[in-house]
Amino acid sequence: MQTNIIGVDIGDYSLKLVELNGGAVKKTVSAQMPDGLAREGEILSAEAMAEFIRNTARSVGMGKGKCAVILPDSMVYSKTITVPAMAEQQLKYSLPYEFRDYVSEDKGRYFYDYAVQGVNTDENGQPKELRLFACAAPRAGVASYRSMLRQAGLNLKSAAPTACAYSGIVSAYEQRTGEKGSDYCFIDLGHSSTGIYMLNGSNYNTHRSLNLSAADLIAAVSDSMNVDEHMARTYVLSNYKNVLDSEACMRVYNAIAVEVVKAINFYNFNNRDNSLGRVYVCGGGAEITQLVDAVSGTLGLEVHRVDELMPEGDFAESKPCTFAKAVGIGLQS
């Protein structure tokens, strides 16, 4: 376990930083993203973002040092694959060819990495195939993140897609509790999108991103109350005049719930031997009880907050479920 590391989650709406020591949460801080700094996973000004990260960390006395960052899904190609058993050097050589349908540029412009999720053996018990979670990310993009974080006073230790954060949470949870063998579903009720991630234990299986999100909730409040979206966001955060119980919001909750159910039912149909019994919600939308209740009621499964899987630590006045990805990427590193 990394002695001390800072998990960095850069979203379209907010920045989340978590300082972990020995796997325990020591400090957390979240700050609303200034307008024009990031959009749909793309950082629009590296220098301004570096300053924003540095100032946000300083506001709670968070130290400098090693960090782990979540790369936006739009930057990373990831997939589960099965390959013949081979030596590590052979695997590193052959891995780029698994992404030839995605990467049309010179393969040398990408980083390739993998995690072994299982081994299939032959009748004699000898390794026959390797089951891998593999990723490819552009070197230029990773270098840009490294430079930006260095300007913020941080030394990039690892960079990985969102799926690895949830894998980190489950892996640490299973190590603490000894529980193994379950399937997990994480629903990230984020600002710009809703992400659904399916894991077999700590092994990534698949994910889907929905366009419906908290941004649609804000837009609905803006239209129904005839205010601009900045004011509507304030209304949502404070539940001004019980706006979260309004008919306009209920329509959004139900629309999100229906799309979530479709995605999970599709997964269940294609994985009929799965043991999925619990669903975990995280992200800012997990703080909206009405939205979580709509998902739970439509899905017909137990819906829990991701807090139940998180390590112990000092979240101060923070809401643990909003820091899930930052915690997970720090644990995964």
Q: Do residue 249 and residue 282 come from a single domain?
A: yes
Q: Do residue 151 and residue 256 come from a single domain?
A: no
Per-residue pLDDT band for 318 (boundaries 50, 70, 90) equals low
**What is the number of structural domains in the chain?**
3
Q: Do residue 32 and residue 155 come from a single domain?
A: yes
Lowest mean pLDDT: which of 13-17, 52-56, 314-318?
314-318
**How large is the average pLDDT for residues 193-222?**
94
Cα separation, 99 vs 132, whole angstroms: 13
Q: Do residue 162 and residue 196 come from a single domain?
A: no
Cα separation, 305 vs 285, whole angstroms: 11
**How large is the average pLDDT for residues 199-208?**
92
Lowest mean pLDDT: which of 31-35, 146-150, 219-223?
31-35
Q: Do residue 190 and residue 45 come from a single domain?
A: no
Q: Do residue 148 and residue 131 come from a single domain?
A: no
What's the confidence (pLDDT) of residue 202?
Answer: 92
- For residue 313, the 8-state DSSP code is B
What's the confidence (pLDDT) of residue 317?
Answer: 62
**Contact yes or no for 327/160 (Cβ under 8 A):** no
The domain spanning residue 110 has which CATH number?
A: 3.30.1490.300
Q: Do residue 286 and residue 303 come from a single domain?
A: yes
The domain spanning residue 296 has which CATH number?
A: 3.30.420.40
Output the six-digit token pair for 47. 């220098």
- Judge whether residue 316 has pLDDT over 70: no
Q: Do residue 15 and residue 117 come from a single domain?
A: no
Question: Residue 26 burial (CB < 10 Å; 0-12/13-18/19+)?
Answer: middle
Domain that holds residue 197: 181-307
Most confident of 27-36, 150-159, 178-187: 150-159
Q: Do residue 302 and residue 205 come from a single domain?
A: yes
Q: Do residue 199 and residue 259 come from a single domain?
A: yes
- Judge whether residue 19 has pLDDT over 50: yes
Q: Do residue 261 and residue 122 come from a single domain?
A: no
Q: Do residue 203 and residue 280 come from a single domain?
A: yes
